């Protein structure tokens, strides 16, 4: 039981390492273990293997897992769509990073509540770089303008970069294209302090790293059997 998770983690780390070195030996890539399908026991085992950063896509699940695992020194990330009625709960959880700030409207609502509570939150602006209507996020052509607008209007939101979900496709070129678009937006934000480019999941993280991702979000490859 233990062995299979250690093996999964080792395999993922080896693949990240190979992709990272091929991209640039000085490039550093962080691994976020997406635990939305994982049990408490699985998360605990991965923690024992040295993994510290975990991500959830629902505020309720984040709250429950953070509470049960509060004695462990874990970093918790929120990666899923944030509904406005869950903003207060999320602020109170004090997550390490919100990856899914996906509109100016949400940013303004979040800013209002952060200000009222005297809190700040580290976030990434989510981009829709695959132009799939089922995906949230701002369009790459408007991204810089919206990013600057949030920086100007939302002092309690600490924007630190962008997040993207690769095109839902088996075509390498289509996936690569969506990641290249995200990297272009990320590069255009260097002068305003963007430092995190969150992209790449179980099926496409090596492509994402080849396109410059420095944070990958991996679930099923770690927790699948
Ligand atoms: C579920 C999820 C992941 C991880 O997906 P896997 O394919 O299981 O690695 C990454 N990012 C987001 C936003 C997710 O919802």
| Cα 117 to middle of ligand 1, angstroms | 30
| Cα 34 to middle of ligand 1, angstroms | 6
- pLDDT at res. 2: 65
Residue 81 Cβ inside 6 Å of ligand 1? The answer reads no
- pLDDT at res. 181: 97
Q: How many CB atoms lie within 10 A of CB 39?
A: 11
The pLDDT of residue 4 is above 90: no
Full DSSP string of 80-129: SPPPGGGHHHHHHH--SEEEEE--HHHHHHHHHHHHHHT--EEEEEEE--
**Confidence class of residue 225 from pLDDT cuts 50, 70 and 90?**
low
Exposure b/e, 93-118, CB count within 10 A at least 16 = b? bebbbbbbbbbbebbebbbebbeeee
The pLDDT of residue 131 is above 90: no
Residue 59 Cβ inside 6 Å of ligand 1? The answer reads no
Pocket test for ligand 1, best of 57, 128, 204, 215 (most atoms within 8 A of CB): 57
At CA 133, angle to CA 186 and CA 100, rounded to 5?
Answer: 45
- What is the C-alpha to C-alpha distance for residues 60 and 39, in angstroms, rounded to an integer? 15
- pLDDT at res. 134: 79
> In the predicted model, what is the mean pLDDT of the chain?
96
- What is the C-alpha to C-alpha distance for residues 178 and 173, in angstroms, rounded to an integer? 9
The pLDDT tens digits of the residues spanning 79-92 come to 999 999 999 999 99
Q: Atom of ligand 1 at shortest distance to CA of 222?
A: 9
The pLDDT tens digits of the residues spanning 56-66 come to 999 999 999 99
Contact 73, 50 (CB under 8 A): no
pLDDT over 90 percentage in the chain: 92
What is the value of pTM for the model shown? 0.97
Question: Which residues is 157 bridged to in the sheet?
Answer: 121
């Amino acid at each position: 039981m233990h062995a299979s998770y250690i093996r999964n983690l080792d395999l993922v780390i080896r693949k990240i390492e190979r992709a990272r070195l091929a991209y640039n030996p000085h490039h550093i890539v962080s691994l976020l273990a997406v635990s939305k399908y994982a049990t408490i026991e699985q998360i605990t085992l991965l923690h024992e293997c040295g993994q510290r950063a975990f991500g959830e896509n629902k505020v309720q699940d984040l709250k429950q897992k953070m509470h049960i695992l509060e004695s462990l020194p874990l970093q918790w990330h929120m990666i899923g769509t944030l509904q406005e009625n869950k903003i207060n709960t999320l602020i109170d959880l004090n997550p390490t990073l919100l990856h899914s700030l996906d509109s100016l409207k949400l940013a303004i609502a979040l800013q209002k509540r952060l200000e009222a509570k005297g809190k700040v939150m580290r976030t990434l602006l989510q981009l829709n770089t695959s132009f799939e209507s089922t995906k949230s996020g701002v369009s790459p052509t408007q991204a810089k303008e919206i990013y600057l607008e949030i920086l100007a209007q939302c002092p309690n939101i600490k924007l630190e970069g962008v997040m993207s979900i690769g095109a839902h496709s088996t075509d390498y070129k289509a996936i690569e294209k969506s990641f290249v678009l995200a990297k272009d937006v990320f590069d255009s934000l260097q002068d305003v302090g963007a430092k995190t480019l969150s992209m790449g999941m179980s099926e496409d993280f090596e492509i994402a790293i080849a396109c410059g991702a420095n944070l990958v979000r991996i679930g099923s490859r770690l927790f699948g059997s």
